[in-house]
Amino acid sequence: MKAVMSLVGSQGIISATEVVLMAAVFCLVFLFIQSLWQHVPQGLKSPPGPRGIPILGNVLELRKDPHLVLTRLSKKYGDVMEVRIGTRPVLVLSGLDTIRQALVKQGEDFMGRPDLYSFRHVTDGQSLTFSPDSGEVWKARRKLAQNALKTFSIAPSPTSSSTCLLEEHVSKEAEYVITKFLQLMEEEKRFDPFRHLVVSVANIICAMCFGKRYDHNDQELLKIVNESEEFGNVAAAGNPADFIPVLQYLPSRAFTLFKDFNKRMIDFMQKILKEHYETYDKNNIRDITDSLIQQCLDKKEGNATTQIPKEKIINLVNDLFGAGFDSVTTALSWSLMYLVTYPNIQKKIQDELDQHIGRERRPRLSDRGSLPYTEAFILEMFRHSSFLPFTIPHSTTRDTVLNGYYIPKDRCVFINQWQVNHDERLWKDPQTFNPERFLNAEGTEVKKVDGEKVQAFGLGKRKCIGEPIARWQVFLFLTTLLQQLEFSVCNGKKVDMTPLYGLSLKHKRCEHFQVKLRYPMKSMS
């Protein structure tokens, strides 16, 4: 009270709002001065980077398309550089060799996650993907989640005649989408494929995680899938509210929608988990959720590290659902955009399908090796669109040195995948969409080394848990669609492929798609 009264002047009392603003400014100045002081061991140096402006740092430069801005800056400052978002320093890594050095060879040093404001709202801060935790318990539970995912999606060998659950689920949903697209063509003469792809992809994940398929008009599922973009808008790398604390107290419609989406996801998962516990049978493990419940209830191993507390299962299921949902939907959506933009490429894929699979059966995962052009197209779609421009931010777990630069513990790290995928040191004419770049001279095989250069799911110990499943789904869904349908857009219309920044780069929705059957529909094996 005395402190407030001391602010009385001849013009009257300073308002409480002014006191708060003065305190906020003081704190920001203090943090700014503190951030300028950093002890660097003798013989080492700090990473270079743009100076930025006091208090705000480089945040104004990064407001629009930060992946492009940081790529331009990397040409000046190098593959290891530092920017400031607010007063917080952020390490930005570019260049394939540098990223591999950090995430693979020095993986333990860079496997942390920063404690960001937005991350705390994802499954109450307990997400495997977003949690700052990276200790032994985290590693063990991540492995359990991976094993559960593999159990219900593992691909059969090329010589096997049996199908896996993933193939069955994808085939069912792809056939549904084909029928739906043809129905829309008959009724409306055009359609937006994304609206239906997003529900079908969600259904595939639901079938694997929960053992059930939802009707495409199920309002609860529709509410989640239609609002999933609200998650990506806030969780994208460089969200100012994660780095400038004062913004967390200002009204934000985007963040309100983000929190609402996360709450809706948890409520959705809790309902399903409750049903699973009520019907659980250890002799009939139906899906991934049952598999995780089994791990929770199994006390035989006697290893607390490998057991999952009941309340943690929902976090693992949520991570697995997220790992295979947005990336697959976005990949398929971009694929269709490229196919109608380059109809000659679409025809090459269909000719390859006709030659190696024919029209008497559906494509299978075991066909991947015999469809090199199709595989090359998918790789080029991942590379050219780079719809995952950054990995989820990393953090250093201890003081370390990278490329001769000193990096302190708890430094937030951005991995610029877009830069790698458009790096002229790696790719000839990187702005050109060209699947042939991944094929050998005869066009009969995919060049594995070049394929491994494409960055989409991260590297090392924090690599996306759902990468294999996502790649398999994209292949199966795309080949099943193209085996039966030919895609185009209405006469006089063009698709707009300008990317919209977020956790994943989306394109503008297009309602002018058309399809036609390549041959009469019939029952397929």
Contact 385, 334 (CB under 8 A): yes
Helices (H), 357-390: 372-385
Question: What is the distance between the alpha carbons of residues 251 and 244, in angstroms, rounded to a whole number?
Answer: 14
- Say whether 206 counts as a known binding-site residue: no
Residue with tokens 């029209």: 359
Question: Around Cβ 34, how many Cβ atoms within 10 Å?
Answer: 10
Which amino acid would we find at residue 67?
H
Residues facing residue 57 across a β-bridge: 53, 85
* Beta strands at 394-395 and 412-415: parallel, antiparallel or unpaired: antiparallel
Mention every residue, 6+ apart, whose C-beta is less than 8 A from residue 284: 290
Question: What is the distance between the alpha carbons of residues 236 and 234, in angstroms, rounded to a whole number?
Answer: 6
Of 319, 267, 397, the closest CA to residue 130 belongs to 319
Helix-then-strand count for the chain, H and E: 18, 8
Cα dist. 199→46, 176, 263, 361, 400 in Å? Answer: 47, 11, 20, 25, 44
**E-assigned strand segments in 343-421:** 394-395, 400-402, 405-407, 412-415
Which amino acid would we find at residue 409?
K
Q: Residue 208 belongs to what H/E stretch?
A: helix 193-210
Which amino acid would we find at residue 370?
S
What's the sign of the alpha-carbon dihedral 458, 463, 468, 469? negative
Q: What is the DSSP letter of 416?
A: B
Please report, in range form, the residues annotated as the binding site. 464
Please report, in range form, the residues annotated as the binding site for heme. 464
